Amino acid sequence: MTLLFTASRYMFDLRGKKKHTFGSVDPRDDSDIDILSLRSESRQGIWSEALRLVRDIFLIVVVFILFGVFFVQPVVVEGTSMLPQLHDGERLLVNKLVYYKIQSVSWGHIERGDIVVFWFPNDPDKSYVKRVIGLPGENVEVRNGKVFINGTELKETYLDVEHNQSLPSWPSKKVEEHHYFVMGDNRDNSSDSLLWTRSGKVYLRKGFFSLLETVNDRFSRTRRIR
């Protein structure tokens, strides 16, 4: 009896269940699905890479421009006033920030012996490269071909005797505040503070650039210095 009841209930459950069927999908029914071909994907990839390349080149150019304007500038030496240290046609990188000063914050100090690039006092369009000899407040004197600072002979091991045989004597003069006395290493052939002060120009004002290093590479745009 129990067995018949169970079998009858099972058959009733089977009849009561709905039959689920799945129809086939016609390929024409998926015409609204956008499928990109491999060619389209490749074209989009090329354009994306090209845009990234243009962006990177633009950023590099901007960085180089800012670097050249505010930090470093290539220059070319003209003349022999700095022999034997610097030669005619030698290329240099000039550090513009080494002596930069913002209010009371200084990034560097001009020291005796520094090789600096500056604008010519009589003609701001000309740049010169010289060595710092006298500092503000010091007395500079040239006697018998020797330079004296506050009465003490300056030891200049960087000079070549061959290029320093006719340096004229010059009476002791005090370097004013915020001014510097500069000279070329080739004293026999150098236009420097000795001549400029005699012509009525009082030394040189602060704002020099220190040399980073010499390089032999070519630069597309350089500033010529003497």
Cβ proximity of 141 and 148 under 8 Å: yes
Which amino acid is it at 67?
F
Alpha carbon distance 42, 45 (integer Å): 5
State the burial class of residue 91 (Cβ atoms within 10 Å of its Cβ: 0-12, 13-18, 19+): middle
Catalytic residue among 81, 127, 190, 210: 81
Instruction: Find the radius of gyration of the CA atoms of the chain.
Output: 40
Question: In 71-159, which residue ranges form alpha helices assigned H by DSSP?
Answer: none
Residues whose CB is less than 8 angstroms from the CB of residue 194 and which lie 6 or more positions away in sequence, other chains included: 142, 168, 170, 183
Catalytic residue among 37, 42, 96, 130: 130
Helix (H) or strand (E) holding 214: strand 209-215
Residue 130's closest CA among 34, 194, 63? 194
Annotation says 96 is catalytic? no
> How many CA atoms, within 13 angstroms, populate the side-chain half-sphere of residue 29?
4
Annotation says 18 is catalytic? no
Catalytic residues: 81, 130
